[in-house]
Amino acid sequence: MASTLVQLLRWRAENQPGKIAYTFLGNSGEDEVSLTYQELDRQARAIAARIQNSAAPRSRALLLYHSSIDYIQAFFGCVYADVIAVPTYPPRRNRPNAAFAAILKDSGAALVLTSGSMELDVSLARLETDQISGDEAKEWREPDVSPDSLAFLQYTSGSTGDPKGVMVSHANLLHNERMIQQAFGHTEDTIVAGWLPLFHDMGLIGNVLQSLYMGVRCILMPPVAFLQRPYRWLQAISRYKATTSGAPNFAYDLCARKVTDQQAASLDLSSWAVAFSGAEPVRAETLDLFATRFAPYGFRREAFYPCYGLAEATLLVSGGTHADAPALRSVNADALEQNFAMPASGDGDARTLVSCGWAWDTQRIAIVDSDSFRRCPEGHVGEIWVAGPSVAQGYWNRPELTEQTFHAHIQETSEGPFLRTGDLGFVQQGELFVTGRLKDMIVIRGRNYYPQDIERMVQESHPALAEGHGAAFSVERDGEERLVVAQEVKYTHRRNLNVAEVTGNIREAVAEQFGLDVLAVVLLKSGGVQRTSSGKIQRRTCRANFLANRLDLFEAGTPVHAFSASDSVS
Amino acid sequence: MNASTQKQIGAAEIQDWLVTYLSKELSLSPDEVDVTTPFDRYGLSSMTAVLMTGEMEEWLGRTLDPTLPYDYPTIETLAQHLASQPASKKAVR
């Protein structure tokens, strides 16, 4: 059994040389380009030979590519040279973006691997890997790679000023691939298809490396091909009879809304056995919408596979039984605010949660009180902690943060080390339910409020308020945590807005639903709420901007909060 | 009919299509959509912008670069660009 990616690809190239490893579809979803294991191995050796000429083992190499076969070859070129690959966000047009510079600096990269078409203005050595001839493969010298060697750094999406590179070893990867195989029920008959970005853990580990691990075919298309016409994703599954294909929740939603009847009529989705959904909360409404929309075209609800994972745990942490339909649980919303999962009863608000299954193989999950570090009883919400061979080696060059995040121990038993995920959830009858993020949690008078719940209620309070474009957070005033709501006004309602009516509605809704008074309601212009590239609300950035009076106000010059910023810093 | 007249007709039709599309997407009446206002100002997400190029492909019957709205960030400039491309002579029905 292979213990490094080098051994794994070498083995496949030797034993299944002519088998197609990857098929790439172009931006239009057509134009396929395929690569066998032998071809991939040869090009990776040629690239590695060049890298070996200019960089020492274990130095870092940035990968700057559009989603393409070049990227996969360059990734394995790094692996074959024992140089740590650092995938970066694909550039818009042909230029790197701001995150690129931050990652470049943090990783201390020795060189940049890219393609000939990319414009790049850095002082580093640059290697255009698409210009390297496979004939150079014979120059390659096999490096001494051990399972503990780092294969790549996965930079997590966060603010660009504070990049964190997760150190993923060969052993981490192979363990996670084994877990994915077990959890997803993969066999040699599996066919993987997808459009997920390759610079990101879900696309790289879930699609590219899992296929290599299994020795099965993988069909890939650029993310933009999917976004331009969501139908292309389903079309690829149908055409190639893919069995495993997944994406975050929003993609299923988009398909249900955008695929036309005429397009759907040409689909046969009956081969689709594992439709994994991860990386953002899995919504029960979306599962229903998608399953109903595509059932006539062979989609089976049991194919849905909600799962939970994060880069710090390599990728997958938990998932259920691949053959079963997702398990839903309706819980009492009030009890959940008090960190306790209780079945919803006739009266009171209910919240439907989707089970993310359980840990596989030797991985373990613990639910822990984030203050006392004691284990939470069954059904109580706490921070999700993870232990096992998939937990990564820490953050690159961040020993203190690594210690805090990756080496936590449970109070009573000193059991550990655990990875603190920063996510909240509970376990009931062995199933994990993820309920939110620890850091954004609003705690007022000893009671927890999920900002997303408040935001939703705010947005429903007036038609002028943009759905998904608000941030609820708390600030301290006079020794007390108080609620602030920052909310974008829809562009379409920018004229003749009755500000008093809108703020009145917001205050009323929050008071009625949560029993909270709002210290400040801040109405913002369209685009005024900061979000990450993947669309997540950046509540902490919003909060900092609020305190510094830097928000893009709907009505410039109007006093928005009844106290000055200095009051709040006690 | 000379080439430049043809170009203008194409641009006008494409412009109308974009106005209709945006007014539907943003729940505005078509006369509220300004052809010189950048897409970003309307709060159009990058995802919606890419989706828009996909629906235009369908309408024009030819493939379009999904990043077009970044390079031609208003209805007016995008319509002019598309109309000035050789392939557009036949594509606009």
Pairs of CB atoms within 8 A across A/B: 48
B51–A28: do the CB atoms touch at under 8 Å? no
- Chain A positions touching B63 (Cβ under 8 A) are 27-28
Rounded distance between C-alpha atoms, residue A396 and residue A109, angstroms? 12
Angle formed by the axes of helices A231-240 and A249-258, to 10°? 100
Rounded distance between C-alpha atoms, residue A95 and residue A525, angstroms? 29
Rounded distance between C-alpha atoms, residue A227 and residue A231, angstroms? 9
Q: Indicate the pLDDT class of residue A527, thresholds 50, 70 and 90.
A: confident
Contacts of residues A117-126 at CB distance under 8 Å and 24 or more positions apart, as own/partner, are A118/A64, A118/A65, A118/A91, A118/A94, A119/A94, A119/A95, A120/A64, A120/A95, A120/A96, A124/A62, A125/A54, A125/A55
Residue in B43, B58, B65 nearest the CB of A491: B43
B50–A258: do the CB atoms touch at under 8 Å? no
- The fold adopted by the segment(s) A316-437 is Luciferase; domain 3 (2.30.38)
**Side-chain half-sphere of A85: how many Cα atoms within 13 Å?**
32
Which tops the pLDDT comparison, B32 or A63?
Answer: A63
Q: Is the pLDDT of residue A445 over 80?
A: no
B67–A490: do the CB atoms touch at under 8 Å? no
Q: Is the pLDDT of residue B1 over 60?
A: no
Q: Indicate the pLDDT class of residue B7, thresholds 50, 70 and 90.
A: very low
State the smallest CA–CA distance between residue B60 and chain A in angstroms: 14
pLDDT tens digits, one per residue of B15-66? 999 999 988 877 778 888 899 987 866 656 667 788 899 999 888 888 898 8
- Chain A positions touching B41 (Cβ under 8 A) are 491, 526
| Amino acid letter, residue A326 | P
pLDDT tens digits, one per residue of A293-319? 999 999 999 999 999 999 999 999 999
Least confident of A35-49, A57-71, A250-264, A507-521: A507-521
DSSP letter at A162 equals: S
- Chain B positions touching A527 (Cβ under 8 A) are 40, 43
State the smallest CA–CA distance between residue A119 and chain B in angstroms: 16
Q: Predicted ipTM?
A: 0.79
What pLDDT is attached to residue A510?
A: 87
| A470-498 burial code (b ≥16 CB/10 A, e <16) | bbbbbbebeeebbbbbbbbbbbbbeeebe
Q: Touching check for A445 and chain B: CB below 8 Å?
A: no
Q: Which residue in chain A has the smallest CA separation from B49?
A: A228
pLDDT tens digits, one per residue of A387-416? 999 999 999 999 999 999 999 999 989 999
Q: Indicate the pLDDT class of residue A324, thresholds 50, 70 and 90.
A: very high
Adjacent-strand bridge partners of A408: A418
B50–A228: do the CB atoms touch at under 8 Å? yes
Cis peptide before B86 (omega within 30 of 0): no
| A277-300 burial code (b ≥16 CB/10 A, e <16) | bbbebbbbebbebbbebbeebebb
- Chain B positions touching A247 (Cβ under 8 A) are none
Q: Are A527 and B43 in contact (CB under 8 A)?
A: yes
Angle formed by the axes of helices B46-60 and B3-25, to 10°? 130
pLDDT tens digits, one per residue of A534-544? 677 889 889 98
| Architecture category of domain A5-228 in CATH | 3-Layer(aba) Sandwich (3.40)
pLDDT tens digits, one per residue of A223-236? 989 999 999 999 99
Q: Which residue in chain A has the smallest CA separation from B62?
A: A28
Q: Are A159 and A301 in contact (CB under 8 A)?
A: no
Q: In what order do the strands lie in the sheet with A192-194?
A: A33-36, A20-24, A218-220, A192-194
What pLDDT is attached to residue A121?
A: 75
Which tops the pLDDT comparison, A38 or A467?
Answer: A38
What pLDDT is attached to residue A462?
A: 94
What pLDDT is attached to residue A92?
A: 64
Q: Is the pLDDT of residue A113 over 90?
A: yes
Give every CB contact of residue A529 below 8 A, 6+ residues apart in sequence. A469, A470, A471, A486, A487, A488, A537, A538, A542
Q: Touching check for A227 and chain B: CB below 8 Å?
A: yes
CA A542 to chain centre: 21
Q: Touching check for A532 and chain B: CB below 8 Å?
A: no
Q: What is the mean pLDDT of residues A334-345?
A: 87
Q: What is the mean pLDDT of residues A489-510?
A: 88
CATH number for B3-88 (one of 1.10.357.10, 1.10.1200.10, 2.20.28.120, 3.90.1070.10): it is 1.10.1200.10
A526–B41: do the CB atoms touch at under 8 Å? yes
pLDDT tens digits, one per residue of A1-17? 799 999 999 999 999 99
Domain ranges, ordered by start, for chain B:
3-88
Q: What is the mean pLDDT of residues A115-139?
A: 89
Q: What is the mean pLDDT of residues A60-67?
A: 92
B67–A93: do the CB atoms touch at under 8 Å? yes
Which tops the pLDDT comparison, A353 or A512?
Answer: A353
Q: Indicate the pLDDT class of residue A459, thresholds 50, 70 and 90.
A: very high
Q: What are phi and psi of A54, to 5 degrees?
A: -120, -10
Q: Which residue in chain A has the smallest CA separation from B67?
A: A93
% of chain A with per-residue pLDDT over 90: 66
Residue in A28, A228, A492 nearest the CB of B26: A492
Adjacent-strand bridge partners of A67: none
Domain ranges, ordered by start, for chain A:
5-228, 316-437, 442-568
Q: Which residue in chain B has the smallest CA separation from A258?
A: B51
A452, A457, A461, A464: CA torsion to nearest 10: 20
What pLDDT is attached to residue B3?
A: 42
Which tops the pLDDT comparison, A515 or A324?
Answer: A324
Rounded distance between C-alpha atoms, residue A565 and residue A547, angstroms? 5
Residue in B41, B45, B51 nearest the CB of A228: B51
Q: Which residue in chain A has the smallest CA separation from B23?
A: A492
Average pLDDT, chain A: 90
Give every CB contact of residue A126 below 8 A, 6+ residues apart in sequence. A111, A112, A114, A120
Chain B residues within 8 angstroms (CB to CB) of chain A: 26-28, 32, 40-43, 45, 47, 50-51, 53-54, 57-58, 63, 65-67, 70-71
State the smallest CA–CA distance between residue B92 and chain A in angstroms: 20
Q: Is the pLDDT of residue A54 over 70?
A: yes
- Chain A positions touching B34 (Cβ under 8 A) are none
A466–B43: do the CB atoms touch at under 8 Å? yes
Q: Which residue has the tokens 């190499």?
A: A61
B54–A228: do the CB atoms touch at under 8 Å? yes
Which tops the pLDDT comparison, A25 or A31?
Answer: A25
| Amino acid letter, residue A327 | A
Contacts of residues B9-15 at CB distance under 8 Å and 24 or more positions apart, as own/partner, are B9/B92, B10/B82, B10/B83, B10/B88, B10/B89, B10/B92, B11/B79, B11/B80, B11/B82, B11/B83, B11/B84, B12/B79, B13/B92, B14/B60, B14/B78, B14/B79, B14/B82, B14/B83, B14/B88, B14/B92, B15/B75, B15/B76, B15/B79
Rounded distance between C-alpha atoms, residue A177 and residue A151, angstroms? 14
Rounded distance between C-alpha atoms, residue A28 and residue B63, angstroms? 7
State the smallest CA–CA distance between residue A529 and chain B in angstroms: 11
Adjacent-strand bridge partners of A343: A331
What pLDDT is attached to residue A479?
A: 64
Chain A residues 18-77 within an 8 A CB cutoff of chain B: 27-28
Chain B contact probe: residue of A228, A531, A536 with most B CBs at under 10 A? A228
CATH number for A442-568 (one of 3.40.50.450, 3.40.47.10, 3.30.9.10, 3.30.300.30): it is 3.30.300.30
A27–B51: do the CB atoms touch at under 8 Å? no
- Chain B positions touching A469 (Cβ under 8 A) are 43
Residue in B43, B50, B70 nearest the CB of A227: B50
Least confident of A124-128, A356-360, B40-44: B40-44
Rounded distance between C-alpha atoms, residue A49 and residue A143, angstroms? 11
Q: How do beta strands A33-36 and A192-194 pair?
A: unpaired
Helix ranges, A191-283 (H)? 201, 210-214, 223-228, 231-240, 249-258, 261-265
State the smallest CA–CA distance between residue B66 and chain A in angstroms: 6
A405: nearest Cα among A203, A165, A179, A178: A165
B43–A229: do the CB atoms touch at under 8 Å? no
Q: What is the mean pLDDT of residues A142-171?
A: 86
What pLDDT is attached to residue A560?
A: 45
Rounded distance between C-alpha atoms, residue A283 and residue A351, angstroms? 11
A224–B66: do the CB atoms touch at under 8 Å? yes
How many Cβ atoms are within 10 Å of A74's Cβ, its own excluded?
Answer: 30
